[in-house]
């Protein structure tokens, strides 16, 4: 049986017919055609599928689409304005925090959620906020530096 849901995807109202067991990841990638959130572990452990749901990071691989009905969903594609990167995205680029790029959309969205509620996070707060996102390419040093750089550029600065 299909359910009709309406979500506010990257600021636009979108309607989808979804099954009761369809994940938000599948709705976003297959039906909306947005491939920035990645399929990684399919168990909510790696964070490659992270999106912002009402401003909070969630693993879209383990979140049902029917649960998102009427809510706001932001993907990595929703952060850019035309060709202009969001300050968090730009900081990741400038700090050299992007390696293969697979985990970066989830990292960026988790960092944005952190900076939205805490504009001057400590190193421990940054590590905790990113703890649900696994990177297989780096030692996380440049990723943490990128979040601190974004905080500075957004006017908060890191502690």
Domain boundaries of the chain, sorted by first residue: 2-78, 87-153
- The whole-number average pLDDT for the span 95-106 is 93
- The CATH number of the structural domain formed by 87-153 is 1.10.150.120
- The whole-number average pLDDT for the span 96-122 is 95
| Predicted local distance difference test score (pLDDT) of residue 49 | 97
- The CATH number of the structural domain formed by 2-78 is 3.10.20.30
* Cβ contacts of 158 within 8 Å, gap of 6 or more: 120, 121, 122, 123, 126, 147, 148, 151, 152
| Predicted local distance difference test score (pLDDT) of residue 157 | 66
Is the model's pLDDT at 159 over the cut of 70?
no
| Predicted local distance difference test score (pLDDT) of residue 139 | 78
3-state secondary structure of 138: coil
Q: What's the pTM value of the predicted model, to 2 decimals?
A: 0.95
Write down the mean pLDDT value for the chain: 95
């Amino acid at each position: 049986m299909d359910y009709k849901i309406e979500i506010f995807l990257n600021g636009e109202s979108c309607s989808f017919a979804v099954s009761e067991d369809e994940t938000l990841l599948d709705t976003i990638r297959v039906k909306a055609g947005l491939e920035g959130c990645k399929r990684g572990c399919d168990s909510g452990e790696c964070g490659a599928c992270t999106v912002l749901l009402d401003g909070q990071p969630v693993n879209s691989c383990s979140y049902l689409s029917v649960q998102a009905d009427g809510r706001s969903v932001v993907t990595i594609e929703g952060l850019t304005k035309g060709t202009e990167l969001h300050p968090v995205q730009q900081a990741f680029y400038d700090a050299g925090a992007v390696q293969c790029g697979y985990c970066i959309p989830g990292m960026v969205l988790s960092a944005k959620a952190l900076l939205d509620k805490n504009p001057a996070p400590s190193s421990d707060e940054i590590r905790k906020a990113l703890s649900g996102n696994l990177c297989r390419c780096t030692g996380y040093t440049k990723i943490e530096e990128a979040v601190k750089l974004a905080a500075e550029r957004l006017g908060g600065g890191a502690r």
